[in-house]
């Protein structure tokens, strides 16, 4: 391919393709927070592969390790046989991530995608408790397979299943009800009263910050209350940290500041380091009860991903990266608050925390227009929420000041242009 046009995709690729429609160009190179298309136009990446590229593109150290590994004929595919690359990843994950956080989990490799991890987590919870029902939360997103969709909120995505989605009960997430106290009270009442009609669930599954659902943040107190309810009723707590984990909110796991200990944690997206497909299901040891092979998958042992993932864990040996995210998160929040104040016509509300923040606009189509404008001006950013009402800033967590400021300037320019668009209906 030398010409930058989309003919081949339009002709041969299924209608289901989506991001190519929002970012209609052919990309061919990327480094750190930058991407280039075939015309050599440069883009700042405030999308980060929807959270799969937290460390940016083509990290030098990960690249070096991968090139060495390939050069040495390191094993590529090995199902779940023991490989050196996997052993090294497991060792480092234990030493650098779990041990210092006092977390005791068995690591399961459920297959390479986030949905694989969610499916395995649901299976474990049902197997351990012998119950079928699972409590999910409004606006939650957990993936596109049938089990994962059954605990996902979005009506459009659910309808894609084509079969009834069963064995799940949706409950109000924190801030779903106007009165924030209502969520916990409602959930408690439904569980406590044997006349509520709800089957006792095997598990609660939740995100601490809802990524696809529109950057809705659960308060730490809410997460603590949820954990208490789970303990009281002997229900497993599954935290889906596929998008919010691996540093996105400023700590390795998004639930760390709440001080809770989930029974199962789903990880994927950035755990593979450089965008390599990898997923983990972290299981409390006494719930590690699958028989050998009871859940499997051909691509559980992606050794390239293990190599990059093990290298990526070096970022967590000290607190420099964490501090980078925490400091720059404040800058992002200030920028967004300021933008909301400057442009009341946007009818915006701040959403999210850490490096997953954005603005929800009540003006129909506003956020889509902003991301379109950003693309024109050389910035990749997506929308989130059930009506795409949120524009979502997702820079790599390794970004420097210069990259961040350049990106924010493009967003400011785009918003300023969109609020002036004559056909924008703001009433």
Q: What is the DSSP string of 242-307?
A: TTTTTTTTSSSSTTGGGT---SEEEE-GGGGTTT----EEEE-GGG--PPTTSS--TTS-BHHHHH
Q: Identify the helix (H) or strand (E) that includes residue 69.
A: helix 60-71
Structure tokens at 179: 């009165």
Query: Nearest Cα to 233, choosing from 338, 131, 137?
Result: 131
| Nearer to ligand PLP among residue 385 and residue 403 (C-beta) | 385
| Nearer to ligand PLP among residue 57 and residue 248 (C-beta) | 248
By the rule CB under 6 A, 240 interacts with ligand PLP: yes
Among 151, 168, 203, 242, binds ligand PLP (CB under 6 A): 242
In the complex, what is the shortest distance from the CB of residue 26 to ligand PLP, in angstroms, rounded to a whole number?
23
Exposure on the CB side of residue 334, measured as CA atoms within 13 A: 8
Which residue minimizes CB distance to ligand PLP?
Answer: 114
Residues in contact with 216: Cβ distance below 8 Å, sequence separation at least 6, in sequence order: 139, 173, 174, 175, 176, 209, 210, 351
Contact region for ligand PLP (CB under 6 A) — 4-12, 238-246, 347-355, 378-386? 238-246
| Nearer to ligand PLP among residue 136 and residue 335 (C-beta) | 136
Residue 93: alpha-carbon gap to chain centroid: 19
By the rule CB under 6 A, 115 interacts with ligand PLP: yes
Contact region for ligand PLP (CB under 6 A) — 100-108, 172-180, 236-244, 296-304? 236-244
Among 143, 147, 275, 403, binds ligand PLP (CB under 6 A): 143
In the complex, what is the shortest distance from the CB of residue 413 to ligand PLP, in angstroms, rounded to a whole number?
29
Q: CA 166, CA 163: separation in Å to the nearest integer?
A: 9
Among 48, 120, 243, 251, binds ligand PLP (CB under 6 A): 243
Taking a C-beta distance cutoff of 8 angstroms, is the pair 125, 236 a contact?
Answer: yes
Beta-bridge mates of residue 379: 44
By the rule CB under 6 A, 281 interacts with ligand PLP: no
By the rule CB under 6 A, 382 interacts with ligand PLP: no
By the rule CB under 6 A, 114 interacts with ligand PLP: yes
Residues that bind ligand PLP (CB under 6 A): 113-115, 118, 141-143, 207, 211-212, 240, 242-243, 268
């Amino acid at each position: 391919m030398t010409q930058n046009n989309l003919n081949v995709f339009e002709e041969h690729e299924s209608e289901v393709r989506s991001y190519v429609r929002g970012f209609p160009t052919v990309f061919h190179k990327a480094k750190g927070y930058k991407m280039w298309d075939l015309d050599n136009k440069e883009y700042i990446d405030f999308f980060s592969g929807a959270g799969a590229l937290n460390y940016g593109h083509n990290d030098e150290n990960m690249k070096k390790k991968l090139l060495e590994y390939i050069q040495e004929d390191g094993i590529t595919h090995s199902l779940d046989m023991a490989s050196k690359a996997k052993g090294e990843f497991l060792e480092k994950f234990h030493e650098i991530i779990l041990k210092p956080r006092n977390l005791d989990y068995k690591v399961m490799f459920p297959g390479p995608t986030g949905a694989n991890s969610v499916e395995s987590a649901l299976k474990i919870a049902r197997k351990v408790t012998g119950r079928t029902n699972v409590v999910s939360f409004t606006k939650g997103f957990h993936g596109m397979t049938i089990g994962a969709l059954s605990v996902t909120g979005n009506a459009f995505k659910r309808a894609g299943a084509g079969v009834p989605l069963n064995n799940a009960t949706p409950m109000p997430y924190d801030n779903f009800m106007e009165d924030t106290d209502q969520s916990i009270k409602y959930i408690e009442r439904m569980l406590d009263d044997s006349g509520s009609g709800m089957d006792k669930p095997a598990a609660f599954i939740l995100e601490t910050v809802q990524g696809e659902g529109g950057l809705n943040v659960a308060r730490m107190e809410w997460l603590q209350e949820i954990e208490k309810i789970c303990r009281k009723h002997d229900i497993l707590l599954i935290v889906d940290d596929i998008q919010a984990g691996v540093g996105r909110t400023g700590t390795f796991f998004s639930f760390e500041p709440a001080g809770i200990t989930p029974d199962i944690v789903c990880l994927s997206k950035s755990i593979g380091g450089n965008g390599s497909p990898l997923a983990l299901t972290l299981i409390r040891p006494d719930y590690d009860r699958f028989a050998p092979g009871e859940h499997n998958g051909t691509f559980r042992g992606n050794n390239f991903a293990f190599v990059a993932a093990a290298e990526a864990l070096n970022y967590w040996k000290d607190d420099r990266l964490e501090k980078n995210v925490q400091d720059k998160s404040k800058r992002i929040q200030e920028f967004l608050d300021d933008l909301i104040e400057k442009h009341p016509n946007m009818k915006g509300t701040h959403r999210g925390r850490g490096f997953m923040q954005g603005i929800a606009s009540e003006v129909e189509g506003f956020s889509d227009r902003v991301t379109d404008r950003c693309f024109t001006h050389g910035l990749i950013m997506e929308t989130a929420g059930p009506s795409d009402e949120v524009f979502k800033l997702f820079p790599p967590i390794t970004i420097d000041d210069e990259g961040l400021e350049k990106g924010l300037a493009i967003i400011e320019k785009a918003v300023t242009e969109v609020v002036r668009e004559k056909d924008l209906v703001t009433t």
